[in-house]
Amino acid sequence: MFKLNERITLVTGGASGIGLAIADTFSKAGATVIILDREAAKAEAVAESLRQLGGRVESLPLDVVDEQACAVVAETVVRRWGRIDILVNNAGIGHVGTMLETSGTDMDRLYAVNVRGIFNLIKAVLPNMLTRRSGNIINLASIGGIVGIRDRLAYCTTKFAVVGMTKSLALDHALAGIRVNCICPGRVETPFVSARLAEYPDPLKAREEMASTQALGRMGNPTEIAAAALYLASDESAFVTGTSFIIDGGWSAGK
């Protein structure tokens, strides 16, 4: 079960955190994984480390904000591997602030990466999937795309947009053999989160507060999100499309 043998998979933001866990998990499941990341050297180092473990993993530099670069990457992958089976849109950024603490520039920056970046890459890969009448797209949204979170105006706005985009795409292309789903994690212990915690006056207290948001009393692990992504990418989820897969440790259970 949950095998991805020889499926050509793109993972954005795959050089760290949840993206790295997904790349690793998919590689172990038999997929050929192409890590797409702005940090080219880091992405290639990660790809090499996974190759050392026996995986078929490559890397290509990509800033998802650049629509033309997304088109070039899709063309490159199809030319080299013949097709794109799975796309995981994991790249994203955050912002802390209410409306009064969020500038137009802040909003534009988050929209450019979190929404337009996903749009750009799906736009680039979808024609190949439609031609073959087969494809699987997984978008990383957030629990902040399901419920509101204080002091996260721009972030929640973009993540609600990702959930809406996912549902619309799923409806538009279901009969063409394309499945589209999104994953909505709660707080997950990634290098990004660890770096933000280190900026607080009392990092330990901040970490405890973040952990307490989840009913289970802890943050998630990237591998737990990757396991859900593997299910959505596999044939075992063939009847699943247009869904928001919530993995939040019970954060939203009482909302």
- What residues are annotated to the active site? 155
- Distance of alpha carbon 192 from alpha carbon 91, whole angstroms: 12
Question: Tokens 């973040």, residue?
Answer: 210
> What six digits make up the tokens of 150?
């204080």
- Name beta bridge partners: 180: 137
Q: Which is nearest to 128 in space by CA: 140, 136, 119? A: 136
Question: Angle formed by the axes of helices 117-132 and 153-173, to 10°?
Answer: 10
> What six digits make up the tokens of 214?
């989840």
Rg of the chain, C-alpha, whole Å: 17
Q: How far is CA 244 from CA 62, 182, 185, 223, in A?
A: 26, 5, 10, 18
What would the DSSP string read from start to end of 44-104? HHHHHHHHHTT-EEEEEE--TT-HHHHHHHHHHHHHHHS---EEEE-------B-GGG--H
Q: How far is CA 155 from CA 27, 95, 114, in A?
A: 30, 6, 8
Q: Which is nearest to 133 in space by CA: 70, 85, 197? A: 85
**In the chain, what is the greatest distance between 2 CA atoms, to the nearest angstrom?**
54
- Name beta bridge partners: 61: 37
